[in-house]
Structure formats: C-alpha cells, structure tokens
Structure 1
Amino acid sequence: MGSNQSSLKLYTFSDISSLISNPLPSNVTLIDVREPSELQSLGKIPQSVNLPYKTHPNALSYSENVWKDTFPGVEKPALENELIFTCAAGVRAKFAADIAAENGYQNLGVYSGSFGDWQANGGKIEQI
C-alpha cells in the first residue's frame, strides 16, 4: 500500500471535535468515505465531504471535469492539502488514505475510531 500507519497522522475524537469547532482551515479536507446510504441513515460529522470508497475508490485521481460531474459542489482537494479520512470504524478510512498517497497526496490523516467513535462520544451529527 502507498502509505503505512507510521506515515499517517492518527486523529482522536477530541482532535476532530476541536478541528470542526470553527470552520475548517481551507487547506484541510475532512473526508467521509462511507456510502451515501450510510450517511443518509446515520448522518455525518459536520464539515465532512462524502467521497465513497466502495463506489469511487479512485476519486482523487479523477480529472477536474469528471470530479465536478461526480461530486457537484465539492471542491477537489489540492495535492498540498491535508486530507483526514473517516468511515464507520476506521478500516475503509485507512484504505482510502493509501489510495490518496498513491495519487500524490502526502499530508494524510485518519480518524481511527471514525463515525462509531464519534457517536459513542456524543459528537454533533449532521443529518443529510
């Protein structure tokens, strides 16, 4: 795989909670890689964008035109941005970070507990 655990910044509930307490910095993108149906039934962490890993595993390699058609209203992250991945329990997030690394992204993080941990800790949930 492109990245390994030691090259990823691992985020905790308190890290993400602090990060989203204000608008995210323009150079940080919080990416939820669960499928849209999961977000519709359970909600999402505020300020996260949805790039579903299962249906669009190579989304970060899409050309600008394909990106805009596939993810309308979502700006494609610049290569120098920090990408922080979340999913249901952390597994897909790590795979998505590996794919991001293979596509030239170097500043990568994973919320290890992901949405399950977010819910368990009483984090604010945005319904979609």
Structure 2
Amino acid sequence: SAACASHFGSGWVWLVCDTLGELYIVHSHDAGSPLRDGYLPLLTCDVWEHAYYVDRRQARPDYVQAFWHLVNWEFVDLNAQAALFSWKGVSGGPAQTKAPEARAPPDVKGRPGQ
C-alpha cells in the first residue's frame, strides 16, 4: 500500500519475482516495464490518475485500499509457480532455455525484508 500511495507522479507499482523466486516491489513510470530488467511481473497497480480520479479524486491511498479487495491472489500465486517451474525446467534441473539474468531491482526501498 505504501509503495503505491507514495509513488511519485504517474506510473505503475509492480510485484515481481526474479529467476530465484525472490519477490520485489518495483516502480516504473510512463511505459516502463520490469520485463526489460529481467523480472517477471506477478501483479501491478496502476497509479496513473485515470485509474482513480473519477471515483476518488486526489485520494490515491483510498484507491489503493480498494484495489486490494480486487486482487486474485490465487492467480498471482499460480503465475509465480509457473514462472519458477519454467525457469527450473521440467526435470527440475537447469532451465531448458536461458532465464533472464537476475539484477538488483531499481527501487530497493520497496524490497521485502528491508
């Protein structure tokens, strides 16, 4: 919630995972995407004004609280499991195709555990 409500300007806040299954919260602006940094997006919150202004005006934190009631966590979890399965390969060994190289997230403030 804090990452979404405090995002400066317009853009997106993402829950992503890397090839090791580590979760991160990253921010992007404009047409930015965590895919270009080698992360798999699991969930995104649109924090552009068009997403909430008609219903909430300037109250982005209220919009974010309402957003959490709409998240399908089963779907998020299934996507995370599918990503890890494909990165490890069907046999459970090294991936059959090269996985994206893990990089430090651009916004380490939102990293879980920090």
Q: Which protein, 1 or 2, shows the higher relative CO under an 8 Å CA cutoff with sep ≥ 6?
A: 1
Establish whether TM, by shorter chain, passes 0.5.
no
How does the TM-score come out when normalised to structure 2? Answer: 0.28
How does the TM-score come out when normalised to structure 1? Answer: 0.26
Q: Give the greater-gyration-radius structure (CA).
A: 2
